[in-house]
Amino acid sequence: GQQVMQIPQYQHVQEGEDFTTYCNSSTTLSNIQWYKQRPGGHPVFLIQLVKSGEVKKQKRLTFQFGEAKKNSSLHITATQTTDVGTYFCAGFYNTDKLIFGTGTRLQVFP
Amino acid sequence: DTGVSQNPRHKITKRGQNVTFRCDPISEHNRLYWYRQTLGQGPEFLTYFQNEAQLEKSRLLSDRFSAERPKGSFSTLEIQRTEQGDSAMYLCASSLTASYGYTFGSGTRLTVV
């Protein structure tokens, strides 16, 4: 079946350091979305990528969709304590439902 | 618009009992999804509706689980004869169309004792 894996599973960084999480799919995705879940909270939609090789930025966050549409990455520049949470990628596989990745939990130390 | 609302927030039940959860989506969203999330895992798809039609149900879902969305508004998820393995956070989400970002509710945390 379709699987979406994310690495690393956990990442601890000092405030101000950069952070990257990688998302890999076993099969081609029609598009991909990214969500953030704060501790004790629910997933919150961040962005959607549709085109092969697409790059989008939101302030300190940079999202990329691979050329083959099987992988994606999220890069955070100069992390802040407000970035703490779990980041999920989620993909559509020519169906109408999202399949969520395994998530990367980010901890930021002040 | 107050977003997606789920009730109750917490439910503790004895094994073997039936439970029902409710989700009120964003009013103009015709897509409604149910997911289940256990600690340290990503949300796992259960089922989804377009308006009142249930379009897909996960093969992982046993027939103890049933969901409805009468009149295409709120939805209910019922679990019959609960088991300890059903303990999880049950998340509801809605979206405007198939490929829009999902808006999640705060979830219902179920504990089966």
Structure tokens at A102: 């395994």
Give B101's DSSP letter.
Answer: P
pLDDT at B8: 98
Q: Over 60: is that where the pLDDT of A53 sits?
A: yes
Mean pLDDT of A33-50: 96
Of the residues B6, B31, B45, B59, the best mutation for testing chain A's interface (the one with the most A CB atoms within 10 Å of its CB) is B45
Strand partners, A13: A108
Contact A42 B106 (CB under 8 A): yes
Of B65, B18, B72, which is closest to residue B49 (Cα–Cα)? B72
pLDDT at A1: 60
- In whole angstroms, give the CA distance from residue A93 to residue A90: 10
Nearest neighbour of A42 by CB, restricted to B41, B44, B91:
B91
Q: Over 80: is that where the pLDDT of A58 sits?
A: yes
- In whole angstroms, give the CA distance from residue A44 to residue B75: 20
Owner of token pair 């927030």: B9
Q: Over 70: is that where the pLDDT of B91 sits?
A: yes
Contact B48 A100 (CB under 8 A): no
pLDDT digits (tens, 9 = 90+) for B64-87: 999 999 988 999 999 999 999 999
Of A42, A1, A31, A27, which is closest to residue B58 (Cα–Cα)? A1
Mean pLDDT of A25-42: 94
Owner of token pair 């689980």: B65
Asked if B44 reaches chain A (Cβ–Cβ under 8 Å), the answer is: yes
Contact B41 A98 (CB under 8 A): no
Give B87's DSSP letter.
Answer: -
Strand partners, A6: A23
Count of CB atoms situated within 10 Å of the CB of B96? 14
Reported confidence tier of residue B92, pLDDT bands at 50, 70, 90: very high
pLDDT at A10: 97
Contact A92 B99 (CB under 8 A): yes
Q: Over 60: is that where the pLDDT of B1 sits?
A: no
Contact B42 A33 (CB under 8 A): no
Residue B56 vs residues A32, B43, B49, B71: alpha-carbon distances, Å: 20, 16, 7, 18
pLDDT at A64: 98
- In whole angstroms, give the CA distance from residue B56 to residue B48: 6
pLDDT at B84: 96
pLDDT digits (tens, 9 = 90+) for B21-46: 999 999 999 999 999 999 999 999 99
